[in-house]
Amino acid sequence: MGDTKKACLICGEELNYLKHGIDMECEFCHKKYNSNASCVHGHYVCDSCHGKQAIERIREICLTSNSTDPLEIAVHMMNDPYVHMHGNEHHVLVGAALLAAFYNAGGKIELTGAFEELRKRGSQVPGGVCGFWGCCGAAVSSGIFISIITGSTPLSIDEWGLANRMTSASLKAIGEVGGARCCKRDSFLAIEQAIYFCREHLGVAMKKSNIQCQFFNRNKQCIGSRCPYNKHYAEF
């Protein structure tokens, strides 16, 4: 994780950065964009395709994992090279890790359909809403998870209450730590709250591992010793 050099997602070679952007053709959609990063072989992937690939990988892991530990599943997803250090793919990732673990722990859901619904809803939550709306997208993703597994709609009574209380519990935990935002820390906090919430309200016990952040080297705004998951601050 200490390696900050980025590798090409197509061939694994190192990326070259130009001083001035030039038009490059995306390897996936073949649209041209002005960019200043490509690999030594000229491979370039546009932001939109990068995001789509990230969600595809998250989907794959969600549908194939056997784990009942959503934090472990989330770390697996976060380690995929298409998943950025920060980014709105976490608004799908949190709910996807939870759906998978909930299903594997005996939760009665149809996983593929549940993921598709999550993808649709989570993708609508823009980046930066933590700071601009006072409503972190990782927390919203935990609320979407509860909404989907309980079948909540705007007209539901108990399910509506549960979904809103879920988002609120995650936001409280995230808010109490304070910023700057970190999509890893905020995802872990939301997932932990969802584990407690499902035990208490839905009678499904997902496993909860102890997280030690492996991503701090990649986070320019890491809050160090203030982060509940940063046990390595002394080496930082």
| Contacting positions for Zn ion (CB under 5 A) | 8, 10-11, 13, 26, 28-29, 39, 41, 43, 46, 49
Q: Which of 109, 93, 123 is nearest to 198 (CA)?
A: 109
Nearer to Zn ion, 13 or 56 (CB): 13
Q: Read off the tokens for 10.
A: 């197509």
Residue 27 or 186 with smaller CB distance to Zn ion = 27
Please state whether 109 falls in left (phi above 0), alpha (psi between -120 and 50) or beta.
Answer: beta
Please, what is the minimum distance in Å from the beta carbon of residue 90 to Zn ion? 21
Q: How far is the CB of 82 from Zn ion (least distance, A)?
A: 12
Which of 12, 131 has the CB closer to Zn ion?
12
Question: Shortest Cβ distance from residue 31 to Zn ion (Å)?
Answer: 6
Q: Which is nearer to Zn ion, 28 or 160 (CB)?
A: 28
Q: Report the nearest approach of Zn ion to the CB of residue 150 (Å).
A: 36
| Distance in Å, CB of 231 to Zn ion, minimum | 35
Cα–Cα distance, 89 to 78 (Å, whole number):
10
Which CB sits closer to Zn ion, 123 or 164? 123
Please state, in angstroms and rounded to a whole number, the distance separating the CA atoms of residues 177 and 82: 27
With beta carbons less than 8 A apart as the criterion, state whether 1 and 215 touch.
yes
Rounded Cα–Cα distance for residues 152 and 25 (Å) = 43
Which CB, 47 or 60, lies closer to Zn ion?
47
Selection from 224, 222, 191, 181 nearest residue 87 by Cα: 181
Candidates 184, 36, 213, 15; CA nearest to 5 is 15
Q: How far is the CB of 8 from Zn ion (least distance, A)?
A: 3
Cis peptide before 180 (omega within 30 of 0): yes
